[in-house]
Every structure is written in structure tokens, then in C-alpha cells.
Structure 1
């Protein structure tokens, strides 16, 4: 569950604080001698770590830090508060000041100091706080805390100018396990009053394959003397990141915030675009054939706009056994990283150890080529006695065009009739299945079932919700297509849309509960191990700062955005799903009561539910035999031998619970399509007695049913409904309520399923996201677009294209806007935003230069609005508008863009000016849209 898994239980692999060095080294090794034309210099010539005696610009980060804290905070609350809370960074620092904090014995805290190690790692603790006393009554919630960290970065000019001062450098900053950071002008510069800090997200999960942030200096450095800049970091201690301090190396119970900061310089360079091998995507070859059709090449623009327009093979004699095709032209904004999608196809077997190719790029002034060598792992055909120890690396295109890898374990034997269900294995938080083989090695190979281990997009993803769930199901479909693509593999075919046995550990155990309870008809069984119920139960939100100021109805509406993730609310959907729930009796990471309680809730819905709980006494959070033991193997064998269809047990009475219809599937063929009041739970209770089916609805506006046989008498909410006797499967029956009367109609088309409820739905895109900014964008606006693209890459490996508003409008008019979701930044200066708001498809409207909702104008100039809006040309897609005219509003809006789970952002928000100090209590308005994007009085606060 927590990052502590990686420090205490899971293998460390490559997550260590030396990642910055390894990232640079990988670039140097990959680029040396391989980049053509102007790119013959390695990336090492473009940066300077400040310690190698370079004659170019140099940088150093002071090891001495000022520390202010700790302050109570709940997980993710830092996205509402100012990252510098309680400071106002436009004012001079007063190191003698005291600030209120309920954690200190005298009720106040002041500045202290800490010193970083040589590798840039800073350990921050507050031993004077009586943590044991706090946790005695508050538990883990008392350990969640916020602090502000300050140091200086110094830029040294080159000894010999030679025109260097005309091209000041940019910073490359890598912050591991810090929330946000900002770089402010030098202390001796003119007053910083009115300066709005540019806050960059840190790599808080310390994830691999995360490039550093490119940070333009807020003021040009001096060309004649060193220039010092202020660096501020928001340091937030979370149990999920650092674990219980009673189980750290010191075991003293004192929480230690440990973060690592590295800085380098990007100077005036010979190269403006580079390869990023950390982002490359490949697949293994089995008996000479690619196990997938997707390749990806990581490319980053150091400056300027670049377009990858073509790809060509190199060093292969004709006729080539393989062909490469650029899936689509890929435009890369300044400082952006994208993975170029390439489709691979074969005429014959290919046994080489690498694939060499050239990417052909253009900018406004330059044509150039990047030479790429993708290593290839060649594997023999699997047999009953031979299977790769780390599985087979497969690949596919997620969301149309995003190259994505996953691992599979082939079955021992070919099918003996109908295909058997697959095993979908969900890893824990912080586990990178690409570089950490222990996860795939912990999964027992099955006799006739494939084992599929998806990435979930990244090592943390979205906790197996949203795009992580989308990725999990997509890997199952991708494996079906891969095996079907080659005749010699047909003996091992999966069934199309196969059911799965889903299992997972820790965060993956939570994910197993989530996927099984949201898609019960596709899940044959579930084995959740060491899973938590929901984030609010893992570490309660009781130390929320905003809770002291917020109107309770507003808090309820905000927290409704967490409802879709609360597994305990959806246990009714599992009464007919075989469950084997496992937990180590001495789990120090996810308390064992979580699984006990989840099984208890399920048994409350149905005491006869097929749920077995196994508590492995004496075991901690992770133990290699968690799945590789007799009782797990017996359970899996009994379910998997039933075949892909198998006998589905159905209770005579069951209840389907749904929060966001687009995030849930069917149960026994019944599916909820839309809600009467979005934002509230909906339930459909079905009772079957002989030929009579009685349905009772709660907050359901429309639903559908498969497999309703002829001759059935149906009542909905005590009213009989006539079903056409000629209806045969697989026609879907759709039921809708109008004026309190239910009607039924036949449908063979995909129904329109409600997909609103919270802003994080913007991540569920079927194609790369579009980020639309005004035509006259300022440096700040370009930075905002680049930062959200950077965050999407680090946290989810979600692709995004940055375009200007006029191009978005041209694409809209020509029907080429695409099917992906859109994020639009700016105010009325964004002509795309202005255009789509003209039709008033939501209660938000523009009058003159101002934004209104229900007659109320967006607040102060520094305020912002975030809201979902229908896509202008695709019914199932979404637009998220971040409406702000001032830099301070843009910064607030960007921090609340839903990148992490647990951030309480419903369909729309008005962000007030006081959020910096009181968090969510400073919200001026929030709500969930109605079923037709209209005003939802029950779920709105204004």
C-alpha cells in the first residue's frame, strides 16, 4: 500500500535517491554517437551538476534548510491549501515568528533547521512533538502533517562570458517525495510583492521513469557574480508514502519526512530535442514473433515545438521481416515529453537483439533525425515445462495510441475445449512490474489460464480506479488480440471478453475489491490480499484544516467525489462472486481489520455469500507465499476449471449498487445507466420468484437488462411492465422513468451511459488528451500547460497534446478534433472556451468578460472555476475547463486538476481567494451536474 512497502518489504529495485543520476546516465549512454546532424553531442554536454569544474554556468543547492512546522493536515489537503501555508511568500521571511499548531506543547511552532546529505536527501523530523501522545487518541491521522522547507539555489556564471550571458540557463529540478516546489527571485532583487509563485509538482511517489521539471529562472542570473534564488518546498508526511514510524529503521515512532532534491542546469544547447530511453516501450519476441503490435520511443523537447512526422527502419536487409508505421504525427511542446507511437508488423520471424530505427522530426526552422536502438528480448516458445521466469512482456496501444507494456504468464497446457478464464493480477503501490520481477514471480503459473499483470499505467496509477481500471481491462482485450494474431498460438486462445479471476496485493488487493464489485459479470472470482477498504478508512480525514471552517453541506458535496472509490458501499454487488480474502495477521502496513470488515460488510448483505477469509497468522504485509500456497491454488483451480463461461450462481434476491454509471458494469445482466440525482448512490434490487421478476429502484433514472427470457412477468417499483413476447437475446431492454412512470424499449445500440460525478473522470479518455490554451498565451499559461502534461506523464503515462485555441476551433470545424477528452485553460481570452460556452450546455455562461453560474459572477480576480462540460463533438467525451484570468487563479486551478486519488473535486468548483489559508472551506461553490448537465439542486452549494 505505502511506499514503505518498497523500503521495508518489497525489493528496493530502482527507486532509490540516485535515480536522478541514473536518468542522466541513461540519456548519456543512449545518445552518445547515436543522434545525427546537430545532435552528435550527448545530453551530458547540455547539463552541469555544479561540481565538475565546468567552464559553463554552474548550480549548487545549499545543504542547509530552514524548516517550519509541523501543521495538521489530512492526505491530499495540500492541493487546496497554499503549498507555502502558513507563509505569504510575497512578504519577507521572519525567522523569529511563531505560528499556531496544535501539535506543539505550547500550541505554536517556529523555524528550525535541517541539513541535507551529500546526495541531496533531506530528513525532516520533529522529535520535540509528543507523537505517541497524539497517536494514542488520533491514530495514524495524527502523523499526517505539513511543513514548509526553504533553502537557496545559487547560479554561478561562466568565468569567460563569450556571449553566454545572452542565453541564461534553465534549471532541471527533480524532487522526490515532496509535494510542490517553487523558485523565487533572489533576495537582493527588488521587492517580491505581487510575485505569484509558480508551483511545480514534485515526484511525490518517487516513481521511476520520471524526467525532471524544466524550471525557467524567475529572474536572469547575473553574468558577473553568483545569483542566489529562494527554493521553497511543500513537505507533506503521509502514511502511504513513508509508513508507520514504529516500523522504520529507528522504530521510535517519530515520523520522518524524507525527500531528495537534485538540480542541474540546461544551458544554451546544440540539441533542442533528445531521446528519453526511460520512456521507451517494447515487447518481447516469442519464437521470433512480437508479442504485441506497439512500440514507443520517448522524446523530449528541450526548446521549441517539434513534430515527429515519420519513422524508418535502419540496418536491415531487404526484404525486411518487420515493418514499422508511425501511428500518428506527434507534436511535442517545449519541455514536454511524449512517447512516439509506432506499430510493428511482421512478414517473417525476427531474431535480432534490437530494432534500429530513425525518427524524422521537424520544427519551424529545422529538419533532423534521431537514431534509436530498441533492445529486443528473444524468448523460445513456451512449453509445459518451460516458461520465462519474468513472464512475457507484451504491448498494445492504450486509449487508441499510447504504447503500453504489460506482463503475462502463459498457461502450461493448451485449451482442452472452451477457453478458461484469465487471471488478472494487480500489483501494490510503488511496484513497477517492468523493473521489479518479484511480482510476476510471486504468481503461480496456471494449467490452462493466462496470468495477466497490467501496469495500471504506472507503479501507483490511480489506485486501480479510472484509467488504471481502463488499463487493466484493456490488457485483457489486448492479450486476446495478440494470441489471435498468430495461428500457432491459437491453441492457447482466450475467449473474447473473457471473464477473469482478479487478484491483487495491498493497493492491488484494494483494486481487486474495486474491480470485482464494479464489474461483477466479468469477474469469475476475486482474491484480494492485504487490501484496504477505502482511503478515508486507511488514514481518516479527522485532522482536516478545512473542517474547522467549512459549511457541512459543502463538505458533503466535496466528499461525494470520493464515493465512487469507497469499496464498502459496493459490497452488495459481490454476493454471488466467489471471494477468497487474505490478510497477514501482523500486517504493519495495512491493518488487518480492513479485510475483516470488508468480509463482514459483504456477509451483512448476504450471510450465505461465497466469501472465505484467511488470516495468515504471524505474517506481515508482504510474504512471498501470499498467493503461492495450497489453499489459494485450490481456490483458483476450482474456479478456473469451470471454463470461460462457467456456471454463474444467482441469488433469488440481489442488489446492484452504482455511483458513477460509466465506471460500473452489469450484475447478472442488469446495469444502471443513469441516476435521478447524480452524486448520490443508486441501487437496483432484483427479486426472482419463478416467472416473476420484481425490481425496486433507488435513485435510478434508467437501466438495462440482458438475458430476460420470454414469458417473464416484470414489475418495476410495484408497477407491472409489458415485455414484447418476440424479444430474443441479445437484444438489450432499456428502462427509463418519465413523470414517475417506467417505460421499456428495445435497443441494440450502445446506450448513453452517464459519465459525470467528479472531475477525475477527465482522465478516462479514449484517446490522448488535448490541452487547449489561448492564442496569446503568456509564459505562465505555457508553463501551466506544460506542467499538467508533465504530471499526466509522471503519474499516469497518459499522453497529451498541447494546442492553441485557434487550432482547436479549426479542428472542430473540420471534424478532426478527435475523440479524446479536452482540458482548456484561461478565461475569455481562450476562444475555444468562449465558443463551447455559447450554447449554455451547463449553467456556466459568459457575459462580457465574466463567468457566471446561476446569476452569480466568479469571485475575485484571483479566483478560479473548474468544471466539466460536454465535448463539443463527441457524446461520450468530456471537457474540463479551468477558468482563471490571473496567475494566482491559474495556480490554484492547476493544483486541483485531479491527478491523484483522494482529492475532493466534484463536477464543478468555484475556488475562492481564501483557500490558501483555510483549504476547501474557501470554496465559493461546488456541485455535481444533473443527468443532462443541468443544475442539480440537491448536490449543489453556492
Structure 2
């Protein structure tokens, strides 16, 4: 039994129960001693490329494109590529050093290509191959029955797979079906290693060699402009490492996943804790948590929000609610966790959580505060709060600041490109879930608003902090830098009534302008109408399309004139578009000559502070103009403008616009395009209001003055009716990334735990959700999912994997709530059976919850499952609408292998105007 423990944790074990391993214990057998397996990655690499692609195309193409890994590889063969002088590329060699692999193609005339194509031509794909060798233990007496697994890290690579080194003719073909793991392409800090099952059992007598394939994809946003380092040649840099994971069951701390509040003068700045745990060899379920009795339980108590099962190879965060009864001044908080292993054995793990103690802020000094709350009442979430220098007699609006890509703000190391401490305003710095999040779109926007609402709740909970609070619903000054500057435009455009003023710095306009899609391989083959349907998934993020929503918002757009990361023309173009909507708009563009991407003067300049101060001093009440236009793409991701909100579109997938004009006599004339239902806040209306929509006079309904809003709906014949409603129906979907907007932990449903392919896919998806979004997910089988549904416990978004053998999926589709159904065990769309070997992804109504959705990843074989798994919208820019069907052609021609796709209509109906078959 283990008794020597790491500083961070200790174990209290039930009698005759195997120990739960601590973080340091788990490292002992990984590569030391005579009974340990060893692993080595060769420094010699084979490289095939470069091939033109656009920035997200690798999610449609096979990661091994142009290779078919089920066939022998001819290392003397040539492949077509438009980047090479001869029009062909072959294999070359590269050498890594200490795990760092740097790949470039100096024979390509990049400067010549770039002269006409710009940054778009730098995007490229390469196939990278080396070998991994596994060495058996030198002493054979204690060989485990199960073979080891690998823990692999691929930093800034998109996908990787481990395959046998022998030829397909020597082994069963299934061994050569690559299981593609998503790499940590953004180099996120809190990223657990990928658990990789070996494709064949390693030899116990001699070293066993496997092939490691990596999809290397150059993106300007990741690797930057090569001319900044004095070269025309783009260089791909990937860090790759591997170690052995023994098959023995253990549970270890994942402290980089902990969610911990700062304690200010002994009091926690938040009511949530999160404890990161990683499992191996078996499932482990945490059933209870409490502060260790007799030590600190009189001052602080915690409660586990829900039983949490951690699958072998999975990392999860335990959600704990924190309650404080007295000041707590120690530097660690001991929490006991009651744990049950999959075989029923029980143990207790005591975790010593580190506590950061700081003094209360004052006028002259402060430290950044990490605050926590339970997002959606279920998920521990953190953000940074910077206190003002002075409390104000009247509440002052806060500053909401969105950080740039790759900035880990919870480390409190983001000050260079951030606003300074304010006199009376709090500076709220959300994480967006991770350093990159979803580029401040969708769930990252939700995270920002949730942090803004959490801070006044924290302040109001203590008498000495309450004078510093602001109303949760107050309008903010919104700022952002780089990706956060783009995010500031995005968030303000979607929720204009919540923003007093906007200060975006070094912002790019939209992804397709930053890294154009000109060299898409798919575009050479795809039907233009199908491409249009797929690219509706990009429309909601095109900031230039939505600037009509900001013509009445004071804006100071700032950009360094020598920005090496985001070209200054992006800010100029957004300002120009805004002035096209309203030449008299209150917008100022300031270009600071000679300044780079990040510099002190962006936010620290007196002119910037003067603009912020003027915005804070302006009246709190929203000033309505005589005329305005609201632009909306996805109603569920957009708020109101001057009290008017679009609820439902006639044709989802297309833009909607609502133009409102106020007459001198108080009349409101509304004209719409592609709008089916709107909500009007009662504050906009009065007994004297004369309301007309499309020229039709619309009397205000009885009781409107006491209702929160009036809902106007358009009938098929073009007539409008108005009513008061206590709740409003908002169109629920619009693109597949809606699955990331979950009110709680996601539930991943596999057909059966014995289904190895589906379970592997679910574990890899859970890993990606953790790395890219810090979204918690539980993995259940169909029987468990049915029980959760029937017990009313299926409260978050749901992802279902598999085919008709998944009983939960079969029962759900039997309700016929969309055009997808099962016919004799086959998936059909509007009665048309989808071919075997196809991959189908579609959003579906949640079985029980109105505020959640379900996604189905339907595949009848392993190859189809791999394809559809890559299309899960982990990143921005993946062109997946509400549903699509693709087949094996996608491996070579990308999105042109999509044979059907579309956006649901309201009520999950077929939307013929935005569907392609």
C-alpha cells in the first residue's frame, strides 16, 4: 500500500482496497525500473507535402491525405500539388530534436505565390511519419495481463494516429483502420495527454515498432507570418512526445484542471470549486465530498453537486459547491473524496487544495482576483476581476475585457495588452472557457456574460464588499485585444443593448478575411449550392454583416500601424462598413503609427481612457434613434436592439433584418426581411404608440403594459398578429456548434460499453471537449441513457454515437421529431435510405429539456465513424450546418464528399430553401 504521498494529496484507504494513486505515484512505473515498459520516438521523419488547403479543411479531408493508410506506401511516388514548380511533390526527410519537429519546404517559391495570393497561400497540409518503438521489461516475472497504452502529446499538430509497421497483407485489415486523435493545435496549457491504445499487442520478447502519422497543417493564426522572422518560407513547428501508461488501475490528480477562487482577507471570492481527476485502467466514481472533519470544516464546507464517473483515460472536473462560515486563512484546504472503483471497491482520497490568500484591495494597491461561480448552476468556472480604486456612491458600469488568443488570463499575466485599473469600475476578464475558446463566439460569449453577472452576486454576498457591487443587468463598456478585439465586435453586435461603448484593439474582421479560403481543395469539386449551404455555418461569425447593430454605439477602434499579426486594414474595413450604414455614427478609428500588435499605448493612452470615462459618464438609459436596423443570423445567439428582438426566421440559414423607424408622432413603423416572429420590450411601447409592421396597423394586445414584451408573428399569408406571452419561443438551432452551448455537462451515449469503436470515439471526443472548451462530459451506454432520461436527469446536451443498435437512439428517433428516422435498421432522411459507409451528423431536439439539444453521429462502420467524429465542431470555421451526410469521397475531395446538408426550419422541420440533396 502506498504511504509516501505527494504534497498535494494524501490517501485514506478502506481495508483491503487497492490504493488510488496520487499524481506523483502514477509516474513511477511509466519509464523506470526493470518491470517498466519503455518507449522511444524516432528522430527521423518522412514528410510528404505541401498540399494547398484552407484553414479548417483538414476536418473534412482524411488527415493522411493523399495517402490511403490501408495500402502499402510507395516512398518513391509523386503526388500532385499546385505549390511545386513541377506540379508534383514527393517524400522528403526531416529530423526532430528533443521532440521538436520543424518542417518547411524551401524549394517552393513562396514569395512568388504570395505576391498574388497573400496569406491565403501559406496555408498548407503535410503528412508526417515516423516510428514509435516499445521496449518490453527486462524482467519478465511481473508482466501484466493487459498490454500497456501510450500517453501521447502532439502540440500544434491537428491529428495523429498510431498504426502497425507491418504491411496490411500481414495483419487483419481492421488493425489498419486509423483511430485519429485530435492534437492540441492551439498549445493549450491545461491539456492532458491523449490515451492511445496500441493497434496490435506488443511483443514480450523483443522491441515492437509502430508507425506514427501526424497531420501537419500550417495556419497563419497559429504560426504567424514568416516574414516577421526574416523569411519567406512558412515553418511548421510541432512538439511530439510519448510515454508508456501501465494497465494497472489508478486515479491521479489533474491539478491544472482545478478551479479555485482567490481568498480575499480570508473569504473566498466565489462559491465554486473544481477538482481535476484523471483515471486509468478502470472507471472510478466520486460519490461524496466534504472538508476533512476536525480540521477546517467549521470554517468552510463543500458539497459534491453530482456523482461523477470518470472513465479509464478520461479527465474530469468534480463540481463542488463551497460554503464559508468564518474567515479561512490557511494556505491549503483539505477535501475528502469518497471514491468507488468499477469493481465496487471503495476508497477515500484526501486532496490538499492550494489556497491563494491576498489582502483586501485599496486605493493604492491590489492584486488580480480569480473569482469562481457555478455556470448554469452545475459547472465550476473561473474569471479574473480587477477591483476599482474607489467605491462609488452610485453604481458604475464595469469594463468587460476579452483577451487575445492563447492568453491564459487565470495566470494573471495579461496586463501588457489590457486596460489599466479603473477609478470606479470593475474590470471583468472572462476566460472564454480556454485561452482560445470558440473565438468569443457562441459558448464563449455566454461565458463572458455569465462572468459579468457572477461578480455582483459575489460582492453582494458580503457586507464589506456590497458597496462595490453593480447591478447584474448593467450595460458595460466592452473592450478586447486581437482575437478579443474581434470578439468585442462580435459580442457587441449580437447583444447591442447590453453595451454602452466599444473599444476593440488590433481586431480582425472575420476568419475568412484573416485567412481567406481561396485555396480550398474542396472548392475545386463541390457544387456551389452545396458550398453555400455548408458556409451558412460561417455566416453567424461574419462581423462585417452585423455592424448595422452598432451604428448607435460609441466606438473607438484602435490598431497599431505596424501590426505584424493582424493587418490594420481589418479595423479600417469594419469602420468603413459601419459608416456606410450611418455616416454620422459615433465611431473613431485611431491608427497608432509604427506600433506593433501589442503595445502599452493601445489601452494605456490618455485618449483611450478619456473615451472610456466619457462612456461611463454618459446617461445609463439607452437612447433610441429615429431609425435603426437589426441584423440577425441565429436568434438563439442574439439579443435585442433598442428593445426589438428577432425570435424566428422564415428561412434559417439566411440573414434576417428588422428596420424600425420612429415618427414625430411616436408611430413605430417596422419592416422585416426573412423574419417570422419578433419580441418588443414593453418599455418601447406606450398607450400613444401606433405600431405597424409592413404597413399593417397592429393594435397592442390587452395587458401589454404588464407583460415583459409583445410578440408579433407573421402568418403564411403575410399578416401579422400580436400577443403577450410570459415565455418566448426562440428558434433553437442554426448550425452544429449549438451542441457546445450546453446548460450542463454533456452526455455522450454509446450503444454498449463492449462496443470498442464507439467507446474509443466517445473518449476521444471527451478529450477534445476538455482540451478546447473545458466542457465536462460523461460517457454512458444506451441503457443508462434511457434511465437518465426517464428519471429526468438528462439535463445537459447529449451526443449519441453509433447506429441503429444504439437502443437510446432508436427510441429517440421513433418519436419522429425530425426528418431522420430508422427504416429496417437503416437511417433514412425523408424516407430515403442513406447508404452504408456514409457518415451522418445532425442536431435533434433534446429528449426531455427545452433548453438543451441533442446531436447524433451516425455511422455503420468504423471508417464512417472516424469521418463523422472529425466533423464535430470543436473549432470555429468548421462548415457544419444543422445536418449533413458525407461518404468516403471526402477523404480525397473534402467537403465535396458531402452529399446532403441543411439547416433545420423552425420546429425542427425540413427547410427546403437551405437544404441540398
Q: TM-score, with normalisation over the residues of structure 2?
A: 0.96
> Are residues 30 and 868 of structure 1, via their aligned partners in 2, closer, same or farther at CA, if it must alter by over 3 Å?
farther
Q: Offset of 1:365 from its aligned partner?
A: 2.7
Q: Counterparts of 1:266-345 in structure 2 under 5 Å?
A: 266-269=245-248, 271-314=249-292, 316-317=294-295, 320-345=298-323
Taking the aligned partners of 2:56 and 2:696, their CA distance within structure 1 comes to: 46
Give, in whole Å, the separation in 2 of the partners of 1:849 and 1:56. Answer: 47
The alignment status of 1:669 with 2:647, answered yes or no, reads no
Task: Give the whole-Å Cα distance in 2 for the aligned partners of 1:656 and 1:256.
Answer: 43
Matches within 5 A, 1:595-744: 595-642=571-618, 646-690=620-664, 691-706=666-681, 707=683, 708-724=685-701, 727-728=704-705, 731-744=708-721
In the TM superposition, residue 647 of structure 1 has moved relative to its aligned partner by 3.6
Q: SS of the counterpart of 2:436?
A: coil
Partner of 1:129: 108
**Mapping of residues 138-287 of structure 1, within 5 Å:** 138-164=117-143, 166-187=145-166, 190-191=170-171, 193-194=173-174, 195-248=176-229, 251-269=230-248, 271-287=249-265
State the distance in 2 between where 1:826 and 1:542 align. Answer: 35
Distance in 1 (alpha carbons) for counterparts of 2:693 and 2:301? 57
Q: What is the 5 A alignment of 1:384-783?
A: 384-388=363-367, 391-417=368-394, 419-439=395-415, 442-642=418-618, 646-690=620-664, 691-706=666-681, 707=683, 708-724=685-701, 727-728=704-705, 731-775=708-752, 777-783=754-760
How far did 1:730 drift? 5.2
Q: Flag structure 2 segments of 5+ consecutive residues without an equivalent.
A: none
* 2:783 equivalent among 806, 811, 834: 806
Is 1:926 aligned to 2:901, yes or no? yes
Structure 1 position 475, deviation (Å): 0.3
CA distance in 1 between partners of 2:695 and 2:180 (Å): 57
Quote how far apart the aligned CAs of 1:439 are. 3.3
Cα distance in 2 between the residues matched to 1:463 and 1:734: 32
Deviation, structure 1 residue 758: 0.4
1:171 partner SS: strand
Instruction: State the 1:467 CA deviation.
Output: 1.0
**Is 649-658 or 317-326 further displaced after alignment?**
317-326
Give distance in 2, aligned partners of 1:40 and 1:912: 44
Give the 3-state SS of the residue equivalent to 1:734 in structure 2: strand
Rate the CA distance shift 1:726–1:327 in 2: closer, same or farther, 3 A.
closer
**Contact 2:417 2:603 (8 Å CA) reproduced:** no
Residue 738 of structure 1 deviates from its aligned partner by 1.0
Give the conservation status (yes or no) of the 8 Å contact 1:791–1:899.
Answer: yes
Q: Per-residue CA shift, 1:259-283, capped at 9, x if unaligned?
A: 01100001133x5211111111100
Deviates more, 1:356-365 or 1:561-570: 356-365
Secondary structure of 2:604's partner?
coil
C-alpha distance 777-927 of structure 1, shift in aligned 2 (>3 A): farther
* Native 8 Å contact 2:703 2:724 kept in 1: no
Number of residue pairs aligned between Structure 1 and Structure 2 = 905
> In structure 2, the residue corresponding to 1:935 is in which secondary structure?
coil
Q: Deviations over 1:808-831 (max 9, x none)?
A: 11222222222x111000110111
2:872 aligns with: 897
The answer for the alignment partner of 1:24 in structure 2 is none
Shift of 1:446: 1.4
Whole-Å separation in 1 of the counterparts to 2:290 and 2:150: 34
Query: Gaps spanning 5+ residues in structure 1: where?
Result: 1-26
Provide Cα deviations, 1:838-891, integer angstroms capped at 9, x if missing partner: 1211111110111111232212x2211000001111123211001111000110
Provide the residue aligned with 2:66 in structure 1: 86
Cα drift, residue 44 of structure 1: 5.1
CA RMSD of aligned residues (A): 1.8
Q: Distance in 2 between matches of 1:32 and 1:295?
A: 16
Q: Which has the larger displacement, 310-319 or 874-883?
A: 310-319
Contact kept? 1:573, 1:667, Cα under 8 Å: yes
CA distance in structure 2 between the aligned counterparts of 1:410 and 1:47, rounded to whole angstroms: 41
**2:20 & 2:28 partners in 1: Cα distance?**
18
Distance 2:296 2:347 in 1: 25
Mean Cα deviation higher: 187-196 or 576-585: 187-196
Aligned mates of 2:84, 2:256 — CA distance in 1 = 44
More displaced stretch, 473-482 vs 192-201 = 192-201
TM-superposed deviation, 1:746: 3.7
Alignment match, 2:52: 72
Counterparts of 2:266 and 2:847, CA distance in 1: 45
Residue pair 2:22, 2:251 contacting (<8 A) in 1 also: no
**Quick check: 1:850 aligned with 2:830?**
no
